[in-house]
């Protein structure tokens, strides 16, 4: 499938990932999905991840953006990817205890590497932080091995099916 015809829907979950791991009691258990050309999700950052009172620690914000950027690229390539470079810009303090919107999209690239861009917004649409990343695809064999560790719930997209 090319990325213009790839369907919308929820993405698979990892079991142990800090951001999307369904079995990681210390993480976010974030649910991401494909929507058009973007990967999107809602998340609320608990107070335990604050830097200053009521404000999310910058490293937590970067982790959430990194996850969305990686999934946007993985959907586009249908291969696992790793972040090679990540740049985050903070436009406003990112609040804890408030619903937030994640959005990311693969911008361009080749088999050797992709670029992605994304943001965290308030529910009202205010951009709180933006990120850009350069990601490298995993070898096809590694993608197949890693895909075996994903959890697929009903309706989850199978973006890593073996061709």
Q: What is the pLDDT along the chain (163 residues), one digit of tens a residue?
A: 344 455 788 888 788 889 988 888 998 889 999 998 899 999 999 999 999 999 999 999 999 999 999 999 988 888 888 999 999 999 999 999 999 999 999 988 765 678 999 999 999 999 999 999 999 988 777 777 777 777 677 776 676 655 4
C-alpha distances (whole Å) from 8 to each of 3, 44, 56, 86, 143 are: 11, 23, 30, 26, 21
**How many Cβ atoms sit within 10 Å of the Cβ of residue 131?**
23
Tell me how far the alpha carbon of residue 88 is from its chain's centroid.
14
Number of residues that make up the chain: 163
Q: What is the pTM of this model?
A: 0.87
Instruction: Report pLDDT for 149.
Output: 72
Instruction: Report pLDDT for 85.
Output: 95
9-147 maps to which CATH number? 3.10.129.10
Instruction: Report pLDDT for 147.
Output: 72
């Amino acid at each position: 499938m090319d990325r213009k015809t790839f369907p919308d829907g929820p993405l698979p979950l990892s079991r142990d990932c800090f951001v999307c791991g369904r079995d990681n009691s210390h993480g976010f258990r974030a649910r991401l999905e494909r929507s058009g050309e973007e990967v999107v999700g809602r998340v609320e950052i608990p107070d335990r991840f604050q830097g200053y009172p009521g404000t999310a620690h910058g490293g937590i914000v970067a982790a959430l953006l990194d996850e969305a950027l990686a999934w946007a690229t993985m959907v586009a390539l249908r291969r696992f990817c790793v972040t090679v470079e990540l740049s985050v810009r903070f436009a406003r303090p990112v609040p804890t205890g408030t619903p937030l919107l994640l959005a990311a999209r693969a911008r361009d690239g080749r088999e050797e590497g992709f670029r992605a861009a994304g943001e965290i917004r308030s529910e009202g649409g205010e951009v709180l932080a933006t990120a850009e990343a350069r990601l490298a695809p995993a070898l096809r064999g590694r993608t197949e091995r890693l895909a075996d560790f994903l959890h697929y719930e009903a309706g989850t997209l199978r973006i890593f099916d073996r061709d």
